[in-house]
Structure 1
Amino acid sequence: MTADGKVLFGFGLETGAGEVDALLRHAVRADREGLDLVSVSDHPYFAERLDAYAALGVVLGRTTGIAGAVNVTNLPSRPAPMLARTVTALSALSGGRVVLGMGAGGLWQEIAKLGVEPLSPAAAVRALEEAITVVRALSGGGGPVTFDGEFYQVAGLVPAQVPTPPIWTGSLGPKSLAVTGRLADGWIPGHAADWRSSRFAQSRPLIDEAAAAVGRDPSEIATVYNLPGRITTSPLPATRDDSGRWIGGSPEQWADELTTAVLEHGAAGFTYFPVADRTPPDVALGRWAREIAPAVREAVRQARPPAGRAAGTDGPANA
């Protein structure tokens, strides 16, 4: 959720080299419409895709209130000390409007074309854990940092005088989920899994167990979902396909489903990605920001009385 306790609503931006106008238009509109987050994907090995951090810097420069995230950073191609410098610089330039999404890496055949040595799955997870540790050490001020890890080494490096941005992971396997529980602030379930999926049911307990094992409160680790789907003018006869995957519906159907996700399944936020249907992305963005997000926020507000107020009372709670 956002700092004021609202459910977080984000929008996934285009990242094609030929989609610059749409990317910037949608980022500015998402900011103007009061969304909380825009995100871009990170695939630096594809020539037809914009560099994620270059795009994010321009987006943050064109907006004033919305946060930006790379969803998720391709860590093997962005060494952790330099990633720390990049995100703290963006945070300083934007007034703290940055979320750091991190992943252990995928598509290793493509990553290797950048000259990066492939890692085994287990080694990639260890590198992810080191990277989060290094990024946290190199932000928030303090004295010089020396770190001699398996994958990253820094010697007497002074941290940036900028708070560490929220760190969300796109972890999938048991070991990376445990890293999320120990070190991260949020989790983005992979493969667009949602709160009714077996992936969530099997994965979230691993995060919670790892968090509790190191003395963390598991509820402080937000679950923020990537959600593709149609936003239609009329209700759909079914909002999920035969496999149980969410496919969308009318704004009212979306609002009902997302409210349930927050109140009954602990969802902290949602990033919407338009799908290739007959609804233009501009229209879908408008429905997401103007109809769905306000409806969910209002339903959650009504279901959760403000702090210090008892449900069903009109006056202040007793001291």
Structure 2
Amino acid sequence: MPLERPPYFGLDANVPFPQSAALSERVLVAEEAGFDLFSLMDHPYAGDHHEAYAALGFALGRTRRISGYVGVTNLPLRPAPVLARTVATLSALSGGRFVLGLGSGGIWKRIAAFGAQTLAPKDAVSAFEEAIVLIRLLTGGGAGPVDFDGRFYRVSGVLPAPVPTPPIWTGSNGPRALAITGRLADGWIPSFGADWLAESYRAARPRIDRAARQAGRDPAEVISYFNFGGVLTDRDVLSPRDPEGRWTGGSVRQWVEELTGAVLEHGAGGFNTHVVDASGDDGADVVRRFAAEVVPAVRAAVAAG
């Protein structure tokens, strides 16, 4: 079933090729434990990792409830018209259990080495905006054929897929991309693991909110979904953040307090988590413990206000 209401809890499901069986196991454990989402990275030039969309489709086919997303899709290597067909297919076959994470491209040296044309930053952002517009036109079962004549994408007389457009969450960073997110997207994944206390987040989020309001939208329609990891300990730690202010983890009580505050005080819409135990293990036991002891406590505290 599609995502319901935030806050959402996701699990990082990335594993290298030598651990292929662990990917399926990790997603199944996440579903059984009650996570809302699993995530995969899109670095097709990395030969030791699975191709994200093939792995996502495989994992969605093994599950029944949990949603999946690629965080975030490497747009320069996945032209928007074909990507629109891909996401419509995944959404339809999974019963709407798909979120489109979308980025304009980041590691350009490796993207170019994989055969894509290198774009100047301003052009990459323009292509990113066109892609969001075109993907929305090519999904949702519009009234008739789509004609689109952009700088980077052109289609003529193409019928849209009769499938609702999935939520679109961006990995935007610069001012223009943030404004595009506010106008056109449903969610934002702050870059470089920034959380709600980071100065980069505090500077960036108002740009999204301002652009959303200028477009006649409620800024709350664009959720902030954080990549957020750390250690889950048996007892309170002296400080759950390092000297630079980055979260490092703590006890169940400290996790619950932190995540509840993120939602109620800072408007967090969800968390893509990578949690380890004191030994550094991120396997099924710590996933189940986090889901059983942290997730429901945060949801209850948020519901209570």
Q: TM-score, normalised by structure 1?
A: 0.92
Structure 1 residue 255, shift from structure 2 partner:
0.5
1:310 aligned residue: none
Letter in 1 for 2:270: G
Query: 3-state SS of the aligned residue for 1:116?
Result: coil
Deviation digits for residues 240-292 of structure 1 (CA, Å, limit 9, x no counterpart): 00000111111111000000000000011111023596142123211221111
Q: Once the two structures are superposed, what CA deviation does each residue of 1:88-142 show, in whole Å capped at 9, x if it has no partner?
A: 0001110000000000101111001121110011111111000000110000102
Q: CA shift at 1:15, angstroms?
A: 3.6
1:289 to 278, 288, 291: 291
Taking the aligned partners of 1:104 and 1:273, their CA distance within structure 2 comes to 24
The amino acid that maps onto 2:288 is G
In 2, the alpha carbon distance for the partners of 1:288 and 1:123 equals 42
- Structure 2 CA distance, aligned partners of 1:22 and 1:51? 15
State how far apart, in whole Å, the 2-side matches of 1:33 and 1:201 are: 32
Counterpart residue number, 1:99: 99
Mapped pair 1:133 → 2:107: no
Q: How far apart are the structure 2 equivalents of 1:90 and 1:99?
A: 10
SS in 2 for 1:46: coil
Cα distance in 1 for partners of 2:256, 2:277 equals 21
- 1:306 counterpart residue number: none
Contact 1:73 1:101 in 2 (8 A): yes
Aligned-partner Cα distance in 2 for 1:138–1:123:
22
State the match for 1:82 in structure 2. Answer: 82
Instruction: Find out whether 1:57 has 2:60 as its counterpart.
Output: no
C-alpha separation in 1, matches of 2:224 and 2:6 = 14
What is residue 14 of structure 1 aligned with on the other side? 14
1:301 aligns with 2:287: no
Structure 1, gaps ≥5 residues long:
304-319
Distance 1:239 1:190 in 2: 21
Aligned runs of 1:110-149 on 2, under 5 Å?
A: 110-142=110-142, 143-149=144-150
Residue 14 of structure 1 and its aligned partner are, at CA, apart by: 1.7
Cα 1:6–1:125 shift into 2, 3 Å: closer
- Unaligned stretches of 5+ residues in structure 2: none
1:201 is aligned to: 202
SS of 2:259 mapped into structure 1: helix
Tell me how far apart the structure 2 counterparts of residues 12 and 128 of structure 1 sit (CA, whole Å): 24
Q: Supply the distance in 1 between the matched residues of 2:154 and 2:165 (Cα, whole angstroms).
A: 19
**Aligned mates of 2:48, 2:6 — CA distance in 1:** 36
Contact 1:226 1:270 in 2 (8 A): yes
Q: TM-score, normalised by structure 2?
A: 0.96
Distance 1:134 1:63, change over 3 A: same
